[in-house]
Each structure stands twice: as C-alpha cells, then as structure tokens.
Amino acid sequence: MTPSAKREVLGMLVHEHGVAVRRACQAVRLSRAAYYRPPCSRLLRDSDVVTALNEVVGRHSRWGFWKCFHRLRRAGHRWNHKRVYRVYCALRLNLPRRTKQRLPTRLRQPLVAPARLNETWAFDFMADALYDGRRFRTLNVIDEGNREALAIEIGTSIPSARVIRVLDDLIRLYGRPARVRVDNGPELTADTFVEWCAAQGIAIGYIQPGKPDQNAFIERFNRTFREEVLDAYLFDSLDQVRAITEEWLATYNAERPHDSLGRVPPLTFLPRPDAPAESTFAVST
C-alpha cells in the first residue's frame, strides 16, 4: 500500500469511525509525523532535480544517465541515484534522443552528356548478399561520355582508401577525368577522398541530397546491373560475383545495344582511341 493510500485509510478511520490517530497509525503502519505533514506533490518535491537534469542535458544532449548523475554529484547535489533515475525516466530522457540530420548544401548538378571521353566520370555504390547471407557492396564507375562501364569493384567493405585505389588504376588505363559526379555518401565526402581529388586536379560534382536524378546515368546503369546480374544469380562467393560481373561487363561495353546511344554499344558509339573496342577493365580482386 502506498503512503497516499495509507493516508486515505487513516482519514476514514479517524474522521468516520472515531479511531484515535495513534491507534489508526499503528494499524496502517504509518508514522504520525507522516500523517500530520501535509502531502507535497512529487513534481514540486523534485523540481530542483528536474531543473538540474534539464540544464545538464541541454548542454550535453548525448550524455547518458550515469554521466549526468556524476556531473550532478560533482556540482554538489547529494541526491541518490535512485531518485535521480526516477526523475530521469519521468522526463523520458532514457529514450533514444534523435538529432536532426544535417545535410550539406549543394548546388544543383545539371545532367548533360559530355561530348568527349574522360570529361565526367560518375560512380555510385550498390549492395547485395551472397546465398549464405553475407553482405557485399559494389562500386560502379562509368564514363558519361559514352556510358562505358569502366569498373565494378566488389568487396565486403569499400572505404575511401579503396575507392582511391580503384580510381588510380582507372587513371593509369584511361587517363585522368576532369570531373567526377558523386552523391554525398561518407566514403565520398571523407577528407581522404576530397584531398586526393584536389591533388589530382579533379573537380567533384556533389549532387544535392535526395536528388538521385542528378546522377541519372549511373542510376540507370545500376538498374541494368541489378536486373541482369545481381537479381539473376544466386552467388556462393565473391569470386563468383567477380567472374560473372567481368563477363557481363565485356558484353555490356562491346555488344549490348544502348537505347540512348542510338541502339549501339558504348564502345561503338564512342570508342577509346588508345584501347580496342572489345577491351574492358577487369573487375578488381
């Protein structure tokens, strides 16, 4: 029975049945001091704790309970952790606090097909899983001049350093692009990637967040790769993914008609002067 319920029973015994206060307190096991002391609402009693907690959380929104509690102790407050935690939960501070995602401000990227090769490269990431459930990612790179697929890097993890290694290999094969068109993924906004592009003299064209249509060439390529490879096979290993992808790349660049290129393959529409039309970049291992 809660103290408030005991006070209610005491009031009935004393005022309605004429029982002495001392005997009534003994019957419900409540001290006479608690009976005579006027009840105070929990909100008023814990107002100091509420104020102190709100001040700490307002300045340090990512702190958990124990960091807040120890900060209050260092500030001189002697409340025990049970009381502070009760107030902490009543304020719903124990629930996950989501912060607003800050999206970078980007200029709109016009989608115009370049008339020359190596003017703009576009790349993007995709994800899929092997038959046993293991996840893997792909980094797809195309030249917007002729929609040629330059590379598809496959691995369980593709951080910024690996993106740079792939681009270094492509530059040695095809030359340096003037510009790359990318989204705002963490691998492509990392300082490592930005500094590498600056050192290479490559401009970065970040599309606006939530506007994949500004990178429509690579998005359309991703759909084709998804339908003809990733969704068409059950893969047992990454080596199998790489082998099938390498074979598909050769067909895509040299044989598969491309509707937006007049129904001819990319290397027929605009062949590379320094490479035969049937060659393509092998998938990295």
135 and 217 inside one domain: yes
Residue 151: pLDDT above 90? yes
pLDDT of residue 4: 76
166 and 232 inside one domain: yes
Q: How far is CA 20 from the centre of its chain?
A: 67
pLDDT of residue 105: 73
Strands 179-182 vs 203-206: parallel, antiparallel or unpaired: parallel
Q: Specify if 103 maps to a domain.
A: no
pLDDT tens-digit readout, 41-63:
777 888 999 999 999 998 888 88
CB 265 within 8 A of CB 254: yes
Mean pLDDT, residues 26-34 taken together:
83
141 and 190 inside one domain: yes
SS (H, E, C) the chain: CCHHHHHHHHHHHHHHCCCCHHHHHHHHCCCHHHHHCCCCCHHHHCHHHHHHHHHHHHHCCCCCHHHHHHHHHHCCCCCCHHHHHHHHHHCCCCCCCCCCCCCCCCCCCCCCCCCCCCCEEEEEEEEEECCCCCEEEEEEEEECCCCEEEEEEEECCCCHHHHHHHHHHHHHHHCCCCEEEECCCHHHHCHHHHHHHHHHCCEEEECCCCCHHHHHHHHHHHHHHHHHHHCCCCCCCHHHHHHHHHHHHHHHHHCCCEHHHCCECHHHHCCCCCCCCCCCCCCCC
Q: CA 28, CA 9: separation in Å to the nearest integer?
A: 8
pLDDT of residue 100: 64
Q: CA 50, CA 271: separation in Å to the nearest integer?
A: 71
Write down the mean pLDDT value for the chain.
88
78 and 149 inside one domain: no
CA angle 271, 276, 281 (to 5 degrees): 90
What domain count does the chain have?
3
Q: Residue for token digits 């320094």?
A: 274
Q: Specify if 276 maps to a domain.
A: no
Residue 276: pLDDT above 70? no
What range does the domain containing 66 cover? 42-97
What's the distance, Cα to Cα, between the start and end of the chain in Å? 70
210 and 253 inside one domain: yes
pLDDT tens-digit readout, 79-135:
999 999 999 999 888 877 666 666 667 777 777 888 889 999 999 999 999 999 999
Q: Specify if 282 maps to a domain.
A: no
Q: Specify if 105 maps to a domain.
A: no
Q: Specify if 102 maps to a domain.
A: no
pLDDT of residue 96: 75
170 and 236 inside one domain: yes
pLDDT tens-digit readout, 169-218:
999 999 999 999 999 999 999 999 999 999 999 999 999 988 889 999 99
Residue 39: pLDDT above 90? no
pLDDT of residue 101: 63
135 and 258 inside one domain: yes
pLDDT of residue 278: 40
Q: Specify if 106 maps to a domain.
A: no
143 and 260 inside one domain: yes
Residue 138: pLDDT above 80? yes
Confidence of residue 280 (pLDDT cuts 50, 70, 90): very low
Q: Specify if 285 maps to a domain.
A: no
pLDDT tens-digit readout, 215-242:
999 999 999 999 999 999 999 999 999 9
133 and 257 inside one domain: yes
Domain containing residue 226: CATH number = 3.30.420.10
Q: Residue for token digits 């509690």?
A: 69
Q: CA 170, CA 118: separation in Å to the nearest integer?
A: 11
192 and 264 inside one domain: yes
Confidence of residue 74 (pLDDT cuts 50, 70, 90): very high
128 and 260 inside one domain: yes
Give which of 138, 142, 162 is closest to 230, Cα–Cα: 138
Q: Specify if 281 maps to a domain.
A: no
89 and 50 inside one domain: yes
